[in-house]
Structures are given as structure tokens and as C-alpha cells.
Structure 1
Amino acid sequence: MFYTPGARPPSLPHDPFGAIVAPRPIGWIATRDAAGRDNLAPYSFFNAVAYAPPQVMFASTSAKPDRGDTKDSVANIRETGVFCVNIVAFAMRHAMNASSAALPREADEFAHAGVARAPCQTIGCARVAEAPASLECRATQILRLEGAANFAVFGEVVGVHLRPDCLRDGRFDVTAFQPLARLGYRDYAVVRETFTLPRPGEN
């Protein structure tokens, strides 16, 4: 089967794009606006993009009527220049999903989803207190992408929080908390098993 975007055949009633590019890690993005109001929202167009200095990105792909051309996360980052990426454990799946609701800009998703918050150390922002890991970030670029409300936000990681029970023998062990990943449609996956595959030439 072949089709071009915008001309999906009737045999594919739902867009398979998200199912093709999968699984994708979820960035649970915490921000704070200039008035000091916290926001928390999950983004599955998220990843790490560089090691030195460590950098991450996430993309926002829709808009809210009370935010003009984007959503709360990007709007807040425009105001303050900072955000915190929280990693989502399987046990947090329902809270993560609750925080994805399209709430008014003054709403507090931490409270709405019943998520405990803690202060960041290097930026003026909250983080998810029980997240396996949280990355404090200073925004470096906000890029407008093709499409009416598509933005990519890049940030440099300036602080890292690791939950102690997720460290084993000096390594951050994802099997200790089972990270959640996004698939297509309304589907998710969870990482419960890993394996090691050395690169060619490595011992």
C-alpha cells in the first residue's frame, strides 16, 4: 500500500503515522508562567538530541483558544525560557493521561491529576516529585514548523534529578520503574525488559 499524506485511503480510517514512528518516549513537560502558575502536560514528540551539552526537544502540535497559536507549555516557555522534562513511569500512567486534558490556562494540572510537585534547583519551575528522572532545561530555540500550530522546543539540560531507587550499580535502570512509551492511535507500551548489544569493535 502507498498513499500520500492528505490522501489516506478509506481502508485506513485512522492515521497510522504515529504507529509507524513508535514507540516514542513521553516527555512530561512542567512549565510555569510569568504569573507563577504551574502547568504539566505530556508530549510524545519528545527525545534527547545531543550529549555535550545535553539537549532535549519536544514538539507541540495543536493550539488552545486561550493561547492563540499554541498551547500552555510553549506559551509559558516563551515567557520564562525554562521547562522541566519528567520521565513517566508505568505507575504514573493514569496521572499522565489526566494531565493531558485541555484545561483553561489558569488551571493547575498538578492538582487536577493529583501529582505531587517539588521545586527545581536551577530554574524557576516545578517538577514531578516522584518522577524516576527530571531534567531541568533552559530553552535554546523555539522553532515554528510547517503547519498552523506546530512548534519544536529545544532546551539545554542544566540540572538532573534521579530517583534513588532507579539507580543500580551506578547505572540508571529503566526496568526499576518501567517507562511508558507512546504508540499510535490510543495505544501505549511499557519497557519491562532490556538487552545489551555492543557496537562492532567493542568488547
Structure 2
Amino acid sequence: MVFYEPGKTDHGLPSDPFKACVIPRPIGWISTLSPTGAANLAPYSQFNNLTFDPPYVMFSGNQTTTGERKDSVRNAESTGVFCWSLATWDLRSEVNITSEQVEYGVDEFERAGLEVRDSVLDELAIEVVSKDGKKEKKRVPMVKRSPINFECVYYSTLRLPGNKPMGSVDVVVGRVIGIHIDESVLTDGRIDVAKTVPIARCGYAQYTAVREVFEMLPPGSNPLLLAGLEGSVKKHRILANGATEEDAGKVEPPK
């Protein structure tokens, strides 16, 4: 049995195993605008949803090797908005291109040859001031070829202390206020993993492509629990607001 205390004792392995223990990790392909209107796109391997009613997501950005905060963090805090696009097998090369640390203000959409889909909600149309002082409204861009996109409003940042050279870590939380789903990835009204083929981070420089799923319901038949498992806002509210046993019985478990 390998046992070590991170940062204190040596694990004795050729590569650090920590990130390879918590897998697979969904990729937060986060797009933002700078206060001057420059588009930014970057993938974050510490990303997840936090709850569903209302839905929140988070992404975690380490400081750069020069002690600066990540562009996505700076932009989300400055403008109050950001978007997420599903990272897929077909887009794996573009995800990798946008992972490179480049100068602040570089448009990673252009750099990776990605076509843009504009966000549609008014909250995501923000006023920016260009370097020459011109004011204009711009919408936060999303990856058009990605089959699923979220439009998010910034909620808060939790700053975690870190050791040099990484420094502090910014955990950014946002509320999802708009969701786009391409109908081509639906089967019988459900998102089909075999059609989206999302990629996820593993350890080291490894990724995985998710192509198969299996179903497993928890023991018992608590309708409220099953509604939460599905993440159904509608069913959750019906059951949480004093639904009768008859009403609860009408709420079908996820299929």
C-alpha cells in the first residue's frame, strides 16, 4: 500500500498520483469577455455542477507560473458573466489548443479556428470599453460546434491558499441561467452520451472519452430522492411543496 502526506513525504512513484485518483473529471471549457471586449476560451479540469434548483457550476483556476490570476477568473469577476461549452471527442484538438497559456487579450476562438455562437440572454450582453475608449455591447461567445452550452452569471469566488509557484487558487461559482442543447444529440428526449461523446480529464496527460453508460437506481422508492437524482426542477418542486402520496406516485423515476 502506497501512503504519503502530500507536500510532506515522498510517494516514491515516478509521477504524482493525486490527480489520477479523482477521475474522470469533467472539463470546464469556459468562455468570457474581457472588459475591453476580447474573447477568451480555456479548459479547466477542476469543474463541476454544484446543485440543480437553481443550477450552479464551478471552475477552479490556479494562478499562472508568474503569479497572475487566470484570464477566465479575471474576466468573469470583471464582467459578471461567463459561458460553458461541452468538450467533446470531435473537439479534442481545439480543447488542447485553447489550454495553452497565451498573452492576456488573445482570442482563443480565432487561435483554435472555432466558430462562435453568441449567447442570447440579455444578462450576457455586456457593455465593454475598447482600448480606444469606444463603448459597445457585446455578447459572451460560446463554441458553436459544441452540442451543449450554458449561459452563466457570476456568483462568487472562493480563494484557496496554495504553495508557490502555483500560489492561490480561485474557485469561481456561477449560476446557470440559460442552457442550449442541440437536438441532434437527443435520443427519446434524453441527452445521449453515445452522441455527445464528452471527453474528461484523467491523471497525468491522459483523457478519456465517455461512450457508454449504465443505470443504477438507489434502493427504495422515495420520489423526492428520485427527482433529485434526475435533477428535475419541476418534479422536485411538486414533491417538496406538500405533494400528496397520490401526486408523488405520478412522478415517474428516471428511465
| Alignment correspondent of 1:172 | 191
Q: Deviation of residue 62 (structure 1)? A: 2.5
Report if aligned partners of 1:130, 1:163 keep a CA contact under 8 Å in 2: no
| Alignment correspondent of 2:160 | 145
Report if aligned partners of 2:3, 2:11 keep a CA contact under 8 Å in 1: no
Report if aligned partners of 1:178, 1:192 keep a CA contact under 8 Å in 2: yes
| Alignment correspondent of 2:180 | 161
Q: Deviation of residue 13 (structure 1)? A: 3.0
Letter in 1 for 2:115: A
| Alignment correspondent of 2:225 | none
Work out the CA distance in 1 between the residues paired with 2:171 and 2:42.
Answer: 15
Report if aligned partners of 2:4, 2:11 keep a CA contact under 8 Å in 1: no
Work out the CA distance in 2 between the residues paired with 1:7 and 1:183.
Answer: 24
Aligned to 1:111, the other structure's residue is in SS state helix
Letter in 2 for 1:61: N
* RMSD across aligned positions (CA): 1.4
| Alignment correspondent of 2:72 | 73
Which runs of 5 or more structure 1 residues have no equivalent in the other structure?
Answer: none
Q: Does 1:133 align with 2:132?
A: no
| CA deviation profile, 1:87-123 (whole Å, cap 9, x unmatched) | 1111110100000111111211001111111100121
| Alignment correspondent of 2:118 | 119
**Structure with the greater alpha carbon radius of gyration:** 2
Report if aligned partners of 1:141, 1:155 keep a CA contact under 8 Å in 2: yes
Q: Deviation of residue 40 (structure 1)? A: 0.2
| CA deviation profile, 1:125-160 (whole Å, cap 9, x unmatched) | 000001121110001011111212301000000100
Letter in 1 for 2:97: A
Q: State the identity %.
A: 41
Q: Deviation of residue 63 (structure 1)? A: 2.0
Q: Deviation of residue 177 (structure 1)? A: 1.8
How do residues 21-40 of structure 1 correspond to structure 2 at under 5 angstroms?
Answer: 21-40=22-41
How do residues 36-51 of structure 1 correspond to structure 2 at under 5 angstroms?
Answer: 36-51=37-52
Aligned to 2:104, the other structure's residue is in SS state coil
- Runs of 4+ displaced beyond 4 Å: none
Work out the CA distance in 2 between the residues paired with 1:27 and 1:163.
Answer: 18
Report if aligned partners of 1:86, 1:135 keep a CA contact under 8 Å in 2: yes
Report if aligned partners of 2:33, 2:39 keep a CA contact under 8 Å in 1: yes
How do residues 173-192 of structure 1 correspond to structure 2 at under 5 angstroms?
Answer: 173-192=192-211
Q: Deviation of residue 175 (structure 1)? A: 1.4
Give the aligned length.
Answer: 201
Q: If the length of structure 1 is used for normalisation, what is the TM-score?
A: 0.94
Letter in 2 for 1:186: A
Aligned to 1:73, the other structure's residue is in SS state helix
Letter in 1 for 2:59: F
